[in-house]
Amino acid sequence: MVALAPSAQAAESATASFTRTSDWGTGFEAKWTIKNTGDTTLNGWELEWDFPSGTTVNSHWEATVTRDGDHYTAVNAGWNGQLAPGASVSFGLNGSGPGEPSGCTINGAACDGSGDPDPDPDPDPDPDPDPDPDPDPEPPGEYINLGYFTEWGVYGRDYHVKDLVTSGSAAKLTHINYAFGNVQGGKCTMGDAYAATDKAYTAAESVDGKADTWDQPLRGNFNQLLKLKQMHPHLKVLWSFGGWTWSGGFGDAMKNPAAFAQSCHDLVYDERWEGLFDGIDLDWEYPNACGLSCDDSGPDVMRTMMRAFRAEFGQDQLVTAAITADASAGGKIDQADYAGAAQYTDWYNVMTYDFFGAWAKTGPTATHSPLTSYEGIPKEGFNAAAAIAKLKAKGIPADKLLLGIGFYGRGWTGVTQSAPGGSATGAAPGTYEAGIEDYKVLKQRCPATGTIAGTAYAHCGEQWWSYDTPATIDGKMDWAKRQGLGGAFFWETSGDTADGELITAIHRGLNG
């Protein structure tokens, strides 16, 4: 970090510091942090710096950045220019080259606080010493960047809604899917009510720095997400039902589609959490096919379900679904009428991950989220490009398809071959489950050693893992845009680093 602030403060002064948050060899991600070190409100900021020749800014967010040769100027966005005393704000950029900034000034004064900017001609006469977080009224881009937030993550994973704020991720997301509600007895039901509505948060744990009280009517994740939406009004939140574990109830529920849809509507829009949800996501794994259990409802069941939910939820609320990416001949995509259902669906989250893994315990090793096919891939039709092509060929509009990204890796142990296709003895150890591990762990424990078919793999000791990195996500987002897709989604938020580098990579790739 450069440009540390001295202890002396003027009536109005500011500092700016530059930090590289990640580096992937061919490029880097960084952030500038501007802090008001004075005792009056700072009404707007303009930051200037120079990069040495060979170091450039390629994209940026949460500020307007212009370039004149090697000289850069960044001006606040409309929503983050006013800083109360002691407050700070950051904006991000990605670039290339090894250089560090020099000649830094903030509002015309040295970024380390050694010189004062010109005085404010009209200072705020009554600055708020404890302002609410600055809102982010504009969406982060034209493409959808959707993340699943898991209900159970608040336990062993110790991941909470506030982490979306401290990581800088909330401003880069467009939608959050809250996972999962259950499907039981023909109805949508709560998953874990304690985590959703009752868990008490301290001031330090809470999104807005305010502690829950014993007698308030709503606590838990739902209350924290409501606070997050107040801070970031562009965010839409959907309640996702089903998932791998809880999909078994869909077949029974679809014996009466209208009653099923009504039960879900009543729960999603319960007055206890009024204003939280903007729609529903149906994660049935899989209609008329097998997942954890098998369904034989027939190929029309997907169209019937989405039609019933659109009728119940209306045109103003979001109705989406997570769907298979199995494009093999006669595979899961062929088992249900996803094209017929698309007319009632805002978009599909195409689960273009988990194609291969250590459930095949002796291998061959293969990347679990290949963008394309490659020589030696264990099964044809098990890649993102094949899935998207098949769905489009069935008549589903490209902009109703989101590309799926896994924020985790899948791995084997007992592997001697570095390239894909090696033999193994079983699943590699994982923190919560054998054969699977979060990106934030693998990045440090088993760094990527190669890429194939648009994703990365890593061979470390006897372990072999595959996962996406910021660099491979950049490539996948470029591909998604060229395909005309509506954007991307990922599973799930807690797998990212503390500074949200994968969410940032999706945001950068879609909007750069």
Q: What is the DSSP string of 21-70?
A: EEE-SS-EEEEEEEEE-SSS-EE--EEEEE--TT-EEEEEESEEEEEETT
User: Is 285 annotated as catalytic?
Assistant: yes
pLDDT at 284: 98
pLDDT at 7: 34
84-97 pLDDT, tens per residue?
888 888 888 878 88
Global confidence as pTM: 0.75
Q: Which one is catalytic: 62, 285, 437, 501? A: 285
pLDDT at 79: 73
pLDDT interval class at 230 (50, 70, 90): very high
309-322 pLDDT, tens per residue?
999 999 999 999 99
pLDDT interval class at 128 (50, 70, 90): very low
Query: Does 58 or 457 have the greater pLDDT score?
Result: 457
Calculate mean pLDDT across residues 130-147.
65
- Measured CA angle at 68 (ends 51, 58), to 5 deg: 60
Amino acid code (one letter) for 385: A
Residue 136 has pLDDT above 90, yes or no: no
Calculate mean pLDDT across residues 385-414.
98
pLDDT interval class at 6 (50, 70, 90): very low
Partnered with residue 68 across adjacent β-strands are 71
Structural contact between residues 2 and 101, judged by C-beta atoms closer than 8 angstroms: yes
Structural contact between residues 404 and 488, judged by C-beta atoms closer than 8 angstroms: yes
Burial status of residue 54 (CB atoms within 10 A of its CB: 0-12, 13-18, 19 or more): exposed
265-309 pLDDT, tens per residue?
999 999 999 999 999 999 999 999 999 999 999 999 999 999 999
- Residue of 105, 94, 221, 103 whose CA lies nearest to 154: 221
Positions of E strands within 97-171: 102-106, 109-110, 144-150
pLDDT interval class at 21 (50, 70, 90): confident
Q: Determine the distance from the C-alpha atom of residue 510 to the mean position of all C-alpha atoms in its chain, rounded to a whole number.
A: 12
Query: Does 279 or 142 have the greater pLDDT score?
Result: 279
pLDDT at 18: 92
Domains and CATH numbers, the chain: 14-110 (2.60.40.290), 144-511 (3.20.20.80)
Structural contact between residues 42 and 83, judged by C-beta atoms closer than 8 angstroms: yes
Query: Does 124 or 307 have the greater pLDDT score?
Result: 307
pLDDT interval class at 133 (50, 70, 90): low
Partnered with residue 280 across adjacent β-strands are 239, 319
pLDDT at 25: 67
Structural contact between residues 439 and 501, judged by C-beta atoms closer than 8 angstroms: no
Query: Does 484 or 77 have the greater pLDDT score?
Result: 484
pLDDT at 62: 78
b/e string for 148-163 if b means 16 or more Cβ within 10 A? bbbbebbeebebbbbb
Residue 9 has pLDDT above 70, yes or no: no
Calculate mean pLDDT across residues 99-110.
92
174-210 pLDDT, tens per residue?
999 999 999 999 999 999 999 999 999 999 999 999 9
User: Among the residues of 194-256, which ranges form H helices?
Assistant: 220-231, 243-246, 250-253
